[in-house]
């Protein structure tokens, strides 16, 4: 069935191919994703409909957006029903509207794997009308045939991806998606893709980054597929250049880095920041063009981790607080250590007043995670002197050499 342009605009569903539609929603209300990660640019919950002899809904949306979502579905289905609901991922930003879908379309069969159904029962008490699939299983809808690929830990254990053989669309769950609402443009060729890529890397590094080896496994599994469209659960739909986001995912999940240095500092009275500024200046003199200096006091960890995912060199500079690490620095370093970051080189410096603690605590993290250091840490009582500046110069030179190797 073809729709009038006006009908599409009013109801807000957007054709991807003749039979496949985008029915996702924007969320510009939620401040923190997972109640942790800032959303200054909003976020989308993407959902898709395949219209065939059997109609399929792929993933749902956060429950707070149910009214808009149902309006889109009703407009698109025009009295028709949903035969199958494919659940690629059970995190509530996508599974939140399942109960309402069942209430509105009571005969719908829920397609997932055995792990999906554990979550479905645990979160929502749903145990009926289940259609279990295993890795590589197919489901024929009439004209379209779907293949299911289990891709555990991208981002949860039950995660899977669904491939439409007819239209060559990969419904990818969280993979390849990012923060940022879709403000008019929905497809990669309708938007300035660089605006979104930074937020996709922030999503990847903070939400999925810990599972790099599992992302690599998933990419291997998908290797032979002819992918014409990447349809993630967040962010733009990649129809013009899906290979671009697939290669970025490959690089990020192999922890590949560009030459550049991120200096993260925690400074109470400006002395540690003074050391950071000196190191930054020296790095520039030694030819490092990408120096990103971020205050742990004023920058959310997610933005710092995003920069660290991009660049090879990482420098921590911290004041001491209560014989330990300055708390915002501790939060950042602990958060980073959960992400399993690899293939980086590190430098450490800091200050103390009457007893050490800041640098010592950073070094405990460095040793625990075997992060390679370019030089010994530089620790200063109160303010740096000439002798300390010489050591910081040496630290910057060694860092510059290491990242340009």
Q: In 3D, which of 151, 161, 183, 289 has the Cα closest to residue 231?
A: 161
What is the contact surface with ligand FEO in residues (CB under 6 A)? 89, 91, 93-94, 155, 174, 233-234
How are beta strands 169-171 and 229-231 bridged, if at all? Answer: parallel
- Helix then strand then coil, in percent of the chain rounded to 5, is 40, 25, 40
**Minimum distance of ligand FEO from residue 95's CB (angstroms):** 9
Q: Which is nearer to ligand FEO, 181 or 290 (CB)?
A: 181
**Minimum distance of ligand FEO from residue 211's CB (angstroms):** 11
How are beta strands 109-112 and 130-132 bridged, if at all? Answer: parallel
Q: Which is nearer to ligand FEO, 234 or 239 (CB)?
A: 234
Could you tell me the two tokens for 400?
């510059």
**Residue 299 class from Cβ within 10 Å (0-12 exposed, 13-18 middle, 19+ buried)?**
middle
**Minimum distance of ligand FEO from residue 92's CB (angstroms):** 8
**Minimum distance of ligand FEO from residue 178's CB (angstroms):** 10
Q: Which is nearer to ligand FEO, 148 or 321 (CB)?
A: 148
Q: Which is nearer to ligand FEO, 196 or 321 (CB)?
A: 196
Under DSSP, is residue 196 helix (H, G, I), strand (E, B) or coil?
helix
Say which residue the tokens 């742990």 belong to: 296
**Minimum distance of ligand FEO from residue 203's CB (angstroms):** 8
Q: In 3D, which of 80, 65, 52, 54 has the Cα closest to residue 23?
A: 65
Cβ-contact 97, 69 below 8 angstroms: yes
How are beta strands 48-50 and 20-22 bridged, if at all? Answer: antiparallel
**Minimum distance of ligand FEO from residue 90's CB (angstroms):** 8
Q: Which is nearer to ligand FEO, 177 or 317 (CB)?
A: 177
Q: Which is nearer to ligand FEO, 19 or 158 (CB)?
A: 158
Q: Which residue is nearest to ligand FEO (CB)?
A: 91
């Amino acid at each position: 069935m073809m729709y009038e342009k006006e009908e599409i605009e009013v109801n807000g569903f957007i054709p991807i191919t003749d039979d496949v539609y985008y029915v996702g929603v924007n969320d510009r209300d939620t401040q923190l994703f997972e109640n942790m990660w800032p959303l200054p640019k909003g976020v989308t919950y993407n959902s898709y409909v395949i219209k065939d002899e059997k109609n399929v809904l792929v993933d749902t949306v956060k429950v707070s957006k149910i009214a808009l979502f149902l309006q889109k579905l009703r407009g698109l289905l025009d009295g028709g029903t949903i035969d199958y609901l494919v659940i690629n991922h059970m995190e509530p930003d996508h599974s939140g509207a399942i109960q309402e879908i069942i209430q509105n379309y009571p005969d719908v069969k829920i397609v997932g794997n055995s792990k999906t159904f554990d979550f479905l029962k645990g979160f929502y008490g749903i145990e009926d009308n289940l259609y279990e699939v295993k890795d590589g299983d197919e489901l024929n809808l009439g004209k379209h045939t779907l293949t299911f690929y289990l891709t555990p830990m991208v981002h949860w254990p039950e995660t899977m991806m669904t491939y439409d053989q007819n239209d060559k669309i990969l419904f990818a769950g969280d993979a390849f998606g990012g923060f940022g609402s879709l403000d008019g443009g929905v497809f990669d060729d309708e938007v300035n893709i660089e605006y979104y890529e930074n937020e996709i890397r922030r999503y990847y590094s903070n939400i999925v980054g810990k599972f790099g080896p599992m992302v690599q496994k998933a990419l291997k599994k998908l290797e032979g597929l002819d992918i014409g469209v990447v349809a993630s659960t967040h962010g733009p739909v990649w129809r013009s250049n899906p290979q671009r986001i697939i290669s970025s995912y490959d690089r990020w999940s192999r922890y590949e880095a560009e030459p550049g240095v991120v200096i993260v500092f925690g400074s109470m009275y400006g002395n540690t920041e003074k050391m950071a500024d000196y190191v930054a200046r020296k790095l520039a003199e030694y030819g490092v063009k990408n120096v990103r200096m971020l205050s742990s006091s004023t920058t959310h960890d997610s933005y710092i981790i995003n920069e660290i995912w991009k660049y090879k060199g990482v420098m921590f500079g911290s004041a001491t607080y209560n014989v330990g690490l300055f708390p915002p620095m501790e939060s950042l370093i602990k958060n980073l250590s959960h992400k399993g970051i690899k293939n980086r080189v590190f430098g450490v410096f800091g200050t103390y007043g009457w007893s050490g603690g800041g640098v010592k605590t950073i070094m405990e993290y460095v040793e625990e995670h075997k992060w390679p250091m370019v030089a010994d840490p530089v620790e200063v009582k109160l303010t740096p002197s000439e002798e300390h500046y010489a050591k910081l110069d040496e630290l910057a030179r060694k860092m510059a050499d290491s990242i340009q190797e």
